[in-house]
Structures are given as C-alpha cells and as structure tokens.
Amino acid sequence: MHMFPNLIGLLGVFITLIAYCLLQLGKIDSTDFSYSISNALGSVMIMYSLFYAWNIAAFLMEVSWLSISLYGGYKAYRLCKKV
C-alpha cells in the first residue's frame, strides 16, 4: 500500500539531490529557473510520500524548501522576462 508513495518520495529525493549535485559541479547556477523548479518538484514529491508516513519535522522542512524554491523560481522567471 505504501510502495507507490515511497517510490514518489524517493524520486523526489533523487531530483533534489541531482539538482544540488549539478549546482556544486558548476553545471547550473543557483539563479537558474531549472534549479528552483527541480527543488520545488522534489519537495512536492517528498511531501506526497509524507502523507502516507507522517513526520511533522520532515513535512515542515519540505514546506520551507518548497516556499524558498518557488520564490527562487519566481525571481529567475522575472530575470528572464527583463532580458
């Protein structure tokens, strides 16, 4: 029953870690829209899995991560429109 949510959560972790790895390797910039969107998507997927195995601390961390990522995505989008 919990296998599908776990797979979604693991995929979210993978997406978030790949984005962070690419940032550290200098392949993407922290102001890139793709970085913020990858983090936001990963957070949503992890939060989905947390509804099946509740953990308030992890959920609050993901809500914060999502909020910051959405703000970063908004800033990146605005920068693209100005160019």
pLDDT by residue (tens digit) across 45-55? Answer: 999 999 999 99
The domain containing residue 30 runs over which residues? 3-72
- Angle, CA of 47, 15 and 49, to the nearest 5°: 20
In a domain, 35, yes or no: yes
In a domain, 79, yes or no: no
pLDDT of residue 82: 79
> With 90 as the cut, is the pLDDT of residue 59 above it?
yes
Q: Let me know how many helices (H) and strands (E) the chain has, helices first.
A: 3, 0
Beta-carbon contacts of residue 75 (< 8 Å; ≥ 6 apart): 31, 36
In a domain, 77, yes or no: no
What does the mean pLDDT of the chain come to? 95
In a domain, 42, yes or no: yes
> 33: which 2 tokens?
């829209």
> With 70 as the cut, is the pLDDT of residue 70 above it?
yes
In a domain, 83, yes or no: no
> With 90 as the cut, is the pLDDT of residue 80 above it?
no
Domain count, the chain: 1
In a domain, 14, yes or no: yes
